[in-house]
Structure 1
Amino acid sequence: MITVVGTGTGAPLSRDAESALAEAGLVVGARRHLEAARPPDAAERIVLGPLAPALDAIERHVEKAEKPQEGQRVVVLASGDPGFFGIVRALAERFGADRLDVRPGVSSVATAFARLGLPWDDAVVVSAHGRDLRTALHACRSHPKVAVLTGPGAGPAELGAGLAYRSGERVFVVASALGDPEHERVERVTPAEAAARDWGSAVSVVLCLDESRALAPARTVAGPPSGPDRWALDEAEFTHRDSMITKFEVRALALARIGPRLGDLIWDVGAGSGSVAVECARFGAAVTAIEKTRDGVDRIRANAAAHGVDVHVVHGAAPTVLTDLTDPDAVFIGGGGRELPAIVMACARRARRSVVVAMAALDRVPAARDALIGAGFDCDGVLLQSSRLAPLPGEVSRLAATNPVFLLWGVRLPAPGSSSPSAAGSSSSSSSSSEGVSL
């Protein structure tokens, strides 16, 4: 049996945990946990660094302990709740869940929110420990209450650098050395202030908050909202100019091909009213809307506010203004005029997963298609032409035709050796078992 004990957030070990530790023949944990727990002198100790060698040592000890007269216990010390982004997953995969005796402590996330007196059943929790930081950054941009579990190269400074000019009203709460009576610190800073500091290695968790929305209504299901109950909203639900808005039939298929989700970054280029941007944000994605007109920028912000979502709006003309933006997962292009081929080409070079283009002018389709195929996308498209019910006198209806729109989409082909299109172009390195665990 392998006993996993959660510790490190101030609470003393339980009597059961102390008894297990007293019987241990092998104790594995971070240096600070070993020093605080003080295992028996006779027990072998392994200070955790890379996880794989520790798992190998545990396996050797478990095999030895299964022999007669050698039934000494293995104890693994971990931070907080080891079943929450912790070592329990790696141990269960290696040895089986039935061989684990888990004694959880209080997680660093729960402790950090407790220090603020805030509930966290509505928080998004993201691990940046050994993972691509972009997911945490996009979650922080799109949600008002996010907890980020930090790691080397993914601490408050890196989060702050990524959010300093794209985070709206966000504030960081940096919780360091939680549970340590001498060194614990809980500090409020702006993302820019976080980026300018050297935080060392004691940071436990970073909370990214829009404090005006930190107290949400009571919840039934924990975590982020499950997504909108409807989409492809009627045009009347957006402020727009002279019907210059992506019609809901087109928007429905565009959303299906974009696939917006929590942790994604979506560009809406030539956003106009921002209807596509707003709908992507309602699915939980971080969204940047690019619009060249000043009144269009104001409309996008008004529509985002009306639907209670965050949309980062960039005032400028594509493709020039795209240069300084973070690479997107997917792009919707709803405008561009004569610059459309250049815009499609620029977006195709940057998009990690897909590009969707809506065009009323069919003569622009070949150039847009060539740009997507040339960038390594698998390309397809459809002409959408719908007729809506419209009332006539005498309580009867007719069919009113909408203008036809050609929707073209490209999905990035998998890179050699990769298993899915979304993996192409990723700057993430796959997390090994030692990288993906908070200890």
Structure 2
Amino acid sequence: MITVIGHDGSPLPEPARQALAEAALVVGGARHLAALPVPETARTVVMGDVTAALEEIGEQAEKTGGVVVVASGDPGFFGIVRALRERGHRVRVLPAISSVAAAFARAGLPWDDALVVSAHGRELRRAVNACRAHPKVAVLTGPGAGPAELGRALFPQHPRVFVVCEDLGGPHERVVRCRPAEATTRPWRDPNVVLVLDETRPAAPRGWIAGARPGPDRWALPEEAFEHRGSVVTKAEVRAFALARLGPRIGDLIWDVGAGSGSVAIECARFGAAAIAVERDADSCERIRRNVRAHGVRVAVSRGRAPAVLEHLPDPDAVFVGGGGPQVVRACAARALRTVVVALASLERVRPTLDALTAEGLTAQAVQLQAARLAPLPGDVHRLAATNPVFVVWGDRNPAPLPSPPASPSRRPQTLAPLPETDQ
């Protein structure tokens, strides 16, 4: 049994003090080892190289036990408990207040509606995309992924308020409220937690589930759900297929190029992804903004002509192209990290689009979609009204192999026990 103690700067409870007093090996950060009553008889290991520290823990646990690991806050929340369990260790956890709970407490804010993401040893861009899309995000930071880097990524397109909480519970605790631009110009102490707040959006209603709100109750909304010009809107059936190929999710950034009404970008934002709608027409951009407000989501609108305007945008995970030729498709494919989906009205454009995708290393496929909708006729009867066919071409970068279905287990004949007799 390995004892894991969470430390938040407050005095240790008696079970934690007793575990330390009996420890043969104590592992933790340098500041933890300096701040806690580690017995002189115990060997100590500074948690710098986590892999090496885990090896030391494993060796000591096999010998005589008496291992104590000290971590910040709640070690079961993005902490060392996961790594210990993955190595098969049994652990007793004595947690303290998590750094996220402490940060929101210092800010005087509820946090059951907050999205919590970690950029510590992880890709910063996913945390940034979460901050683009959601109004209340707590970011666990790390070297190279701190308040300054977050500020540079969000300023000036995404006005936010930062609450930077440094050294929570430690001797150098400081809570600073600032704008992203200011965060890029100041030095910050590690460790820290950054609360990224969009105070222009109304407070979330009282909910039943912690974290970001659940996904939409339905998608592929009817065309009537969007203001559009002359029926220039991606049809619901095509949008449903495009969303399935785009796979928008929290942490993703989606481009909607040639956005028209912005319907695809809005639907992606409803799934929790960050979205940018690209349009060259000023009236269309205003129409997109009205649609965005009507659906209560966040979508950035970039006015300009593709592909030139794309040079100023951050790299997307996936792109939907609703307008533009092969040059635009290829520019999108060169930047997309995962997928590009293109909707086409004419058959002649399918081959150049496939070539543009494959030229940038994507595995391309295509399908024709045509729906026939039920339409009423006089006399309480109906007919099928065909919509115009649409060709959807998509390309995936390094598509993951699909899992093989499990083999059907051979079933042995079973003999059922007789039912007990009952009096009639």
TM-score, normalized by length of structure 1?
0.89
Shift in Å, 1:214: 6.8
Q: AA paired with 1:172?
A: F
**What's the counterpart of residue 205 of structure 1?**
193
Shift in Å, 1:391: 2.3
* Cα distance in 2 between the residues matched to 1:11 and 1:392: 75
Q: AA paired with 2:130?
A: A
Residue 392 in structure 1 maps to residue 369 in structure 2: no
Q: 1:316 to 1:420 in 2, by over 3 A?
A: farther
Does the CA contact (< 8 Å) of 1:145 and 1:214 recur in 2?
no
Q: AA paired with 2:70?
A: L
Q: 1:158 to 1:420 in 2, by over 3 A?
A: farther
Comparing 231-240 with 204-213, greater Cα deviation is found at 204-213
Q: AA paired with 1:111?
A: A
Does the CA contact (< 8 Å) of 1:141 and 1:166 recur in 2?
no
* Cα distance in 1 between the residues matched to 2:293 and 2:305: 23
Residue 251 in structure 1 maps to residue 242 in structure 2: no
* Cα distance in 1 between the residues matched to 2:332 and 2:234: 19
Alignment of 1:34-183 (within 5 A): 34-65=33-64, 73-96=66-89, 99-167=90-158, 169-180=159-170, 182-183=171-172
**What's the counterpart of residue 18 of structure 1?**
17
* Cα distance in 1 between the residues matched to 2:212 and 2:123: 20
Shift in Å, 1:173: 0.8
Gaps of 5+ in 1: 66-71, 422-439
* Cα distance in 1 between the residues matched to 2:59 and 2:367: 60
Shift in Å, 1:300: 1.0
Shift in Å, 1:202: 2.4
**What's the counterpart of residue 2 of structure 1?**
2
Q: AA paired with 1:89?
A: R
Alignment of 1:338-353 (within 5 A): 340-353=325-338
Give the match's secondary structure for 2:388: coil
Does the CA contact (< 8 Å) of 1:129 and 1:149 recur in 2?
yes
* Cα distance in 2 between the residues matched to 1:3 and 1:214: 43
CA displacement, residues 256-308 of structure 1 (integer Å, 9 cap, x when unaligned): 01110110110000001000000000001011110000011111111111111
Q: AA paired with 2:3?
A: T
Comparing 383-392 with 341-350, greater Cα deviation is found at 383-392
Q: 1:51 to 1:203 in 2, by over 3 A?
A: closer
* Cα distance in 1 between the residues matched to 2:252 and 2:244: 14
Q: AA paired with 1:80?
A: G
2:182 to 190, 193, 207: 193
* Cα distance in 2 between the residues matched to 1:292 and 1:37: 61
**What's the counterpart of residue 361 of structure 1?**
346
Shift in Å, 1:31: 1.0
Gaps of 5+ in 2: 403-424
Shift in Å, 1:208: 0.6
Give the match's secondary structure for 2:211: coil
Structure 1 stretches (4+) deviating beyond 6 angstroms? none
Q: AA paired with 1:176?
A: E
Shift in Å, 1:420: 6.6
Shift in Å, 1:411: 1.0
**What's the counterpart of residue 328 of structure 1?**
316
* Cα distance in 1 between the residues matched to 2:276 and 2:350: 24
Shift in Å, 1:183: 2.0
- CA RMSD in angstroms comes to 1.5
* Cα distance in 2 between the residues matched to 1:393 and 1:136: 55
* Cα distance in 1 between the residues matched to 2:140 and 2:245: 31
Give the match's secondary structure for 1:95: coil
Give the match's secondary structure for 2:213: coil
Comparing 271-280 with 27-36, greater Cα deviation is found at 27-36
**What's the counterpart of residue 293 of structure 1?**
281
Comparing 296-305 with 218-227, greater Cα deviation is found at 218-227
Q: State the identity %.
A: 62
Shift in Å, 1:166: 2.7
Does the CA contact (< 8 Å) of 1:118 and 1:215 recur in 2?
no
* Cα distance in 2 between the residues matched to 1:304 and 1:12: 49
Residue 313 in structure 1 maps to residue 301 in structure 2: yes
**What's the counterpart of residue 406 of structure 1?**
391
**What's the counterpart of residue 261 of structure 1?**
249
TM-score, normalized by length of structure 2?
0.92
Q: AA paired with 1:2?
A: I
* Cα distance in 2 between the residues matched to 1:233 and 1:388: 15
Q: AA paired with 1:92?
A: R
Q: AA paired with 2:182?
A: E
